[in-house]
């Protein structure tokens, strides 16, 4: 693994260089307070310091609305949608975001492996960047450090205002071919980038907390504040549930089938024809969301399915905090243990 | 954890494209339910197991999970029986022979036939629950020598809602099938048993070590049937239940059919009761 020093002022040149490899997508400022992953048209518009984008990078692999087929109602036939394999370079990606893509890989490729997802994913390269945690980030608590480099081809670690560029794969090496502005350097450890938000327990202790959390009083309290809008799952980088709809053109001769992001937090998510709803109450749905992040997949794969980006908390209109819920579950679990020990 | 580099392009699948299947026969069999016989293109076989389901689609309307009702032993065609209860199913009501229905699947786990061979089969069907269980029943009848007793308990709300009445008569006349039918609300002409389906269970004389129960019905039915079977001392691991959920994609992705951490479309819809007991959302 090679490490180069790179001046901040040379980053736009690097971005332009990477653009030769494939379509470049990077964080841009959007509105007054928001950021978004967008196609790069001018390397000077790419934002290097940002807390988080509103929508996660999953939108580039599982589009919010994705056409599955065109159909003809006259012929009762359909045309498949072919996802073109074109190289894409994602620049300025935070470590938790990369970890979310690695988790999506598992979700979309284990069992039946989805071809559309695979094609988009296979042709993608990732250039990471370090970040300064704000009051919502807690990825350290789920085992993801700022400079976690798994999954990246290149990684920019900010050191005293400039950068150290790590080359992490053959693809990364290839992407840098012909870029001359750097000198080899010794990797430095950056101190002082501290997470303000924390889950009190190490994540390897959480499975035990969740093992006993199903009937915790915490769920009713959270449900009483939740408005059921689904913003948490929409902005969650590892949520992948979807719905499928058909749309017909005005001539009623043809149309398309598409899928769109759905949310287990919406009240009709588990409803079947005839009206039976298998997760009717908000309390069932808030619990389901947290169990999806910390128990169901985690029990199988050994990793939290939450990457600590803080989006669900930062964008919740009711101010519900995921790490706070986990901390309350921990507290309730400790209380229950205290009472148990008193009985012995 | 599955990694991208573990997957070869040829291992990936286009998961969401239906096969257009031709309706060969169709009949409205009750006020709410229509029966369809379909054939795959090019004489292919659906290749399902009793208890599995398919995703049925109509372009412009959408898709819904529907149980396969015919036995795999019936070759050349397969059958569905669809209750008109939602947007899609009310459109399918108008499908007649010659029309094309989009089919994906079969999906999920059906009844584990290898564990049923040689056993007494106790079928407990509530209402439309007979539709998937009919696949099992006819499979047992077509391979009668491979199984012990075949006991069928079937309950419907009213006599008019009884499904497959011709077949019920045929099963009744066979001396190797024990059929017990009940209705909740009898009409003037009803001469059979009256009461909910669990009222048929106490009188059963079961060989406890060799009986497998296969249960399908409305969600409310399961708890009571399981309670009745337990009071007969039937071991938990000899009870199989088929659950209804919103199985939208059928391939374990879309999330709609999850029962706690389990995807009903992958690990079910047929479950062993032992596997359902730890799932709080199951029954």
In this predicted model, what pLDDT tens digit does every residue of A221-262 receive, in sequence order?
999 999 999 999 999 999 999 999 999 999 989 999 999 999
Indicate if the pLDDT at residue A341 is higher than 80.
no
Decide the pairing of beta strands A162-167 and A2-6: antiparallel
**pLDDT tens-digit map of B155-171:** 999 999 999 999 999 99
> Distances from the Cα of B112 to the Cαs of A51, A154, B268, B272, in angstroms?
52, 50, 11, 9
Q: Which CATH class is domain B113-242?
A: alpha beta
A305 to chain B, any CB pair closer than 8 A? The answer is no
**Whole-angstrom distance, CA of residue A34 vs CA of residue A42:** 19
By CB atoms closer than 10 A (0-12, 13-18, 19+), residue B158 is middle
Give B104's contacts in chain A (Cβ within 8 Å): none
Look up residue A228 and give its two tokens.
Answer: 């059921």
Confidence band of A182 (pLDDT split at 50, 70, 90):
confident
pLDDT (tens digit, 9 = 90+) per residue, B52-87? 999 999 999 999 999 999 999 999 999 999 999 999
Smallest Cβ–Cβ distance between B261 and the set A106, A272, A296 belongs to A296
ipTM greater than cut 0.95:
no
Which part of chain B has CATH 3.40.50.80?
Answer: 113-242
What chain B residue is nearest to A280 in terms of C-alpha separation?
A: B281
Rounded to 5 degrees, φ, ψ at B265 are -75, -15
- Domains of chain A with CATH codes: 2-184 (3.40.640), 203-343 (no CATH)
Nearest to A255 among B12, B59, B253 (CB): B59
A272 and B1 within 8 Å at the Cβ level: the answer is no
**Cα–Cα distance for residue pair A174/A178, rounded to 1 Å:** 9
A66 HSE (CA, 13 A, CB side): 23
The radius of gyration of chain A's CA atoms, rounded to the nearest angstrom, is 22
Closest CB to B14: pick one of A115, A269, A296. A115
Q: Does A85 touch chain B (CB under 8 A)?
A: no
Residues from chain A that touch B20, judged by Cβ atoms under 8 A, are 76-77
pLDDT given for residue A337 in this prediction: 86
Q: Which residues pair with B20 in a beta bridge?
A: B102
Asked if A83 is an interface residue toward chain B (Cβ–Cβ < 8 A), one would say no
The predicted model scores a pTM of 0.94
Tens of pLDDT, residue by residue over A132-145, are 999 999 999 999 99
CB contact under 8 A, A241 and B249: no
CB within 8 Å of chain B, chain A residues 10-49: none
* Residue in A99, A255, A265, A272 to test binding to B, most B beta-carbons within 10 Å: A272
Measure Cα distances from A153 to A23, A136, A167, B261 in Å: 15, 27, 6, 33
- A112/B contact by beta carbon, under 8 A: yes
Test B4 with A122 for CB contact under 8 angstroms: yes
Distance from CA of B12 to the nearest CA of A (A): 5
Which residues face A88 on adjacent strands?
A: A23, A124
pLDDT per residue of chain B (283 residues) written in tens, 0 to 9:
999 999 999 999 999 999 999 999 999 999 999 999 999 999 899 999 999 999 999 999 999 999 999 999 999 999 999 999 999 999 999 999 999 999 999 999 999 999 999 999 999 999 999 999 999 999 999 999 999 999 999 999 999 999 999 999 999 999 999 999 999 999 999 999 999 999 999 999 999 999 999 999 999 999 999 999 999 999 999 999 999 999 999 999 999 999 999 999 999 999 999 999 999 999 9
pLDDT tens per residue across span A82-132: 888 899 999 999 999 999 999 999 999 999 999 999 999 999 999 999 999
Q: Which residue among A115, A242, A297 places its CB closest to the CB of B254? A: A242
The token duo for B7 is 């997957």
Would you tell me which residues 197-236 of chain A have a C-beta closer than 8 angstroms to some C-beta of chain B? 214
Chain segment A161-173, per-residue pLDDT in tens: 999 999 999 999 9
Residue ranges of chain B assigned to CATH 2.40.30.10: 11-106
Residues of B in contact with A70 (CB under 8 A): none
For position B142, what pLDDT does the model report?
97
Q: What is the pLDDT of residue B55?
A: 98
Of A208, A258, A206, the residue nearest A81 (C-alpha) = A258
Distances in whole angstroms, Cα of residue B98 to Cα of each of A289, A300, B76: 45, 46, 16
Smallest CA–CA distance, residue B146 to chain A, in Å, is 33
Size of interface A-B (CB pairs under 8 A): 146
B2 with A105: Cβ contact below 8 A: yes
- Nearest-10 crossing angle of helices A218-225, A282-294: 110
3-state secondary structure of A149: coil
Cβ-count burial of B51 within 10 angstroms (0-12 exposed, 13-18 middle, 19+ buried)?
buried
CB contact under 8 A, A68 and B16: yes
What are the C-alpha distances in Å from A267 to residues A253, B143, B254?
33, 45, 16
Q: Which residue of B has its CA nearest to A273?
A: B86
CA distance B178 to B181: 10
**For the segment A301-325, what is each residue's pLDDT rounded down to a tens digit?**
999 999 999 999 999 999 999 999 9
Q: What is the mean pLDDT of chain B?
A: 96
Does residue A84 belong to the interface with chain B, where contact is any CB pair within 8 Å?
Answer: no
Nearest to A271 among B7, B12, B246 (CB): B246
Q: Residues A5-10: what's their mean pLDDT? A: 96
Domain B11-106 grouped into CATH 2.40.30.10:
yes
Tell the burial category of A242 from Cβ atoms under 10 Å away from its Cβ (0-12, 13-18, 19+). Answer: buried
SS3 A115: helix
Beta strands (DSSP E) in B127-244 are: 150-156, 178-183, 193-194, 211-216, 239-242
Confidence of residue A344 (pLDDT cuts 50, 70, 90): low
Give the H or E element holding residue A231. helix A231-234
Q: CA–CA separation, A217 vs A224, rounded Å?
A: 11
Check B20 against A77: CB less than 8 A apart. Answer: yes
Residue in the structure block whose two tokens are 């999850």: B258
């Amino acid at each position: 693994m090679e490490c180069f020093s790179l001046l901040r002022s040379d980053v736009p040149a690097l971005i332009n260089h990477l653009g030769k490899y494939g379509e470049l997508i990077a964080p841009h400022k959007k509105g007054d307070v928001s950021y978004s992953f967008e196609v790069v048209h001018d390397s000077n518009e790419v934002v290097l310091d940002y807390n988080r984008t509103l929508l996660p990078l999953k939108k580039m692999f599982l589009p919010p609305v994705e056409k599955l087929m065109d159909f003809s109602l006259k012929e009762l036939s359909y045309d498949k949608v072919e996802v073109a394999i074109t190289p894409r370079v994602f620049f300025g990606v935070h470590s938790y975001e990369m970890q979310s893509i690695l988790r999506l890989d598992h979700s979309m490729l284990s069992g039946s492996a989805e071809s559309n997802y695979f094609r988009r994913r296979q042709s993608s390269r990732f250039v990471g960047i370090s970040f300064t945690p704000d009051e919502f980030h807690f990825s350290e608590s789920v085992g993801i450090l700022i400079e976690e480099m798994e999954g990246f081809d290149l990684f920019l670690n900010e050191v005293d205002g400039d950068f150290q560029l790590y080359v992490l794969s053959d693809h990364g090496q290839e992407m840098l071919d012909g870029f001359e502005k750097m000198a080899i350097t010794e990797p430095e450890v950056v101190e002082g980038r501290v997470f303000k938000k924390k889950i009190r327990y190490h994540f390897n202790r959480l499975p035990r907390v969740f093992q006993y959390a199903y009937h915790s009083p915490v769920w009713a309290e959270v449900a009483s504040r939740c408005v059921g809008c689904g913003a948490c799952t929409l902005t969650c980088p590892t949520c992948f549930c979807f719905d499928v709809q058909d749309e017909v053109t005005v001539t009623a001769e043809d149309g398309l089938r598409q899928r769109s992001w759905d949310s287990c937090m919406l009240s009709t998510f588990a409803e079947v024809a005839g009206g039976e709803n298998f997760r009717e109450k908000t309390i069932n749905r808030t619990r389901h969301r947290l169990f999806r992040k910390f128990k169901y997949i985690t029990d199988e794969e050994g990793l939290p399915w939450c990457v600590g980006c803080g989006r669900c908390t930062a964008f919740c209109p009711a101010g519900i905090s995921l790490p706070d819920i986990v901390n309350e579950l921990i507290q309730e679990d400790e209380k229950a243990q205290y009472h148990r020990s008193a009985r012995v | 954890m599955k990694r991208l580099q573990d997957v070869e392009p040829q291992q990936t699948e286009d998961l969401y494209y239906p096969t257009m299947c031709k309706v060969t026969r169709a009949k409205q069999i009750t006020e709410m339910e229509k029966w369809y016989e379909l054939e795959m293109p090019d004489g292919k076989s659906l290749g399902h197991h009793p208890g599995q389901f398919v995703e049925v689609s109509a372009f412009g309307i959408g898709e819904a999970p529907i149980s396969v009702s015919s036995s795999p032993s019936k070759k050349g065609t397969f059958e569905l029986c669809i209750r008109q209860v939602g947007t899609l199913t009310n459109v399918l009501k108008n499908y007649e022979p010659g029309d094309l229905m989009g089919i994906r699947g079969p999906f999920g786990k059906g009844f584990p036939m290898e564990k049923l061979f040689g056993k007494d089969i106790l079928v407990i069907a509530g209402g439309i629950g007979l539709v998937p269980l009919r696949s099992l029943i006819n499979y047992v009848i077509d391979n009668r020598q491979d199984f012990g007793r075949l006991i069928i308990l079937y309950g419907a709300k009213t006599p008019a809602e009884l499904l497959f009445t011709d077949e019920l008569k045929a099963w009744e006349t066979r001396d190797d099938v024990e059929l017990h039918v009940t209705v909740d609300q009898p009409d003037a002409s009803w001469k059979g048993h009256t009461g909910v389906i669990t009222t048929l269970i106490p009188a059963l004389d079961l060989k406890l070590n060799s009986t497998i129960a296969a249960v399908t019905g409305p969600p409310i039915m399961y708890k009571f049937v399981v309670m009745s079977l337990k009071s007969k001392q039937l071991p938990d691991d000899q009870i199989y239940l088929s659950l209804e959920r919103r199985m939208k994609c059928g391939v374990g992705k879309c999330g709609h059919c999850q029962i706690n951490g389990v995807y009903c479309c992958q690990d079910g819809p047929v479950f062993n009761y032992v596997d359902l007991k730890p799932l709080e959302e199951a029954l």
